[in-house]
Amino acid sequence: MNETIVGDQEDVLGRAFEWKGQGRRVALATVVTTWGSSPRPVGSLLAVDTESQFVGSVSGGCIEGAVIREAMDVIEDGKPRLLDFGVTDTQAWDVGLACGGKIQVYVERLD
Amino acid sequence: MERDILRQLLADRGAGRTVVLAKNLTSGRNVLLYPIEKAEQSPFSEAAREAALNDKSTSVTGPDGTWFLQVFNPPLRMILVGAVHISQPLARMAAMSGYEVTIIDPRRAFATAARFPGLTVTTDWPDEAMEKLKPNRRTAVVALTHDPKIDDPALLVTLKSEAFYIGALGSLKTHAKRRERMLAAGFDEATFKRIKGPVGLKIGARSPAEIAVAVLAEVIQTLHEVESGPTPPPSPASRRGRVEA
């Protein structure tokens, strides 16, 4: 139980490194800013490959789909992107948040 | 991000180093900083140091755009001196709260793996064990035996470390005697005051599990005060959750 808590981030980065070593094409998404209440703190990570397999999270699940779609473009052209998401009250309600927040996610390719 | 940087970052984490991954959000450049180990020649070394000490990733704006400073601190550790009854619930609660727990007790009848399943137990003498474990600023040490022969050697080593929390079980009277011994050993009053005694928040704890809650609560409070300053009194606003800047 210890490891799942303290090893959270290491696991995502470790997995990304492992995937890259297997020759898979990988993008890394990092939560860099949050405003208001947001489900995952600044520094939260998600790694994704071109088969849309991913580890980690950048939200409670509401923006992962969009981040993964953007990540495909990032893997393709190698240009990092800074994505802005406003969590609307409706979306927030869907994922069980108390109020709408905003988050910024940076997506880059692992070269 | 270059794979070599990620490889280095993973190696640093494995070695228990504090490392800050600085990411330029404009150029995409990634740089590793070690703000605790050395003063670095970078426009945001102070911000990186503060972020590492607060264990909070942050952004800074420099002449070449915004840098995101992502903090990777070594895991929190808790070292318990004494494989006593209180240590059993405390070790489990601390592990649940994200601490890597080690229990030290030279008395083999106490320090058995069966009493502490899944946790690290050592029967080294406390001073030797402490010299090996090297408490750092991410370590809490709690002495729980009541026995100066076992608690004191551990405390003497711990007081020379940067451990963020040091606690020792015992009444006011026991603690007063401990003070005399620590001063006689050459520590000054301010250093002795780093030892929390009687240990734990005052919640009227009686059973071993309740005392464990009191101790762990005090450890958590101390950690977050070190990181962010004194805990504000409860208010309706803080109950709604903190607003991130």
**Assembly ipTM:** 0.83
Element (H, E) at B168: strand B165-168
- Residue-level pLDDT at A87: 61
Is B7 close to A17, i.e. CB distance below 8 A?
yes
Distance from C-alpha of B133 to C-alpha of A48, rounded to nearest angstrom: 37
Interface contact flag, A16 B71, Cβ < 8 Å: no
Considering only A70-74, A93-97, B150-154, which range has the smallest mean pLDDT?
Answer: A93-97
| CA closest to B95 among chain A residues | A2
pLDDT band at B16 (very low <50, low <70, confident <90, very high): confident
**Would you state the pLDDT for residue A101?**
72
Element (H, E) at B222: helix B208-228
Residue B73 contacts residue B55 (beta carbons within 8 Å): yes
H/E stretch holding A73? helix A64-77
Contact across the interface for B244 and A111, Cβ inside 8 Å: no
A1 close contact with B: CB closer than 8 A: yes
- Structural contact between residues B104 and B80, judged by C-beta atoms closer than 8 angstroms: yes
pLDDT exceeds 50 at position B238: no
What pLDDT score was predicted for residue A62?
Answer: 76
Res B221 pLDDT > 70:
yes
Least confident interval from A9-18, A38-47, B58-67, B97-106: A9-18
So where are chain B's domains?
Answer: 3-72, 77-228
3-state helix, strand, coil in chain B (%, to 5): 40, 20, 40
A23: containing domain: 2-109
Is A13 in the B-facing interface, judged by CB distances under 8 Å? yes
* Whether pLDDT at B69 is above 90: yes
Interface of A with B in 24-83 (CB under 8 A): 28, 30, 32-38, 42-43, 79-80, 82
CATH class of B77-228: alpha beta
For residues B179 and B192, give the distance between their C-alpha atoms in angstroms, rounded to a whole number.
Answer: 7
Six token digits for residue B96: 């649940």
Number of structural domains, chain A? 1
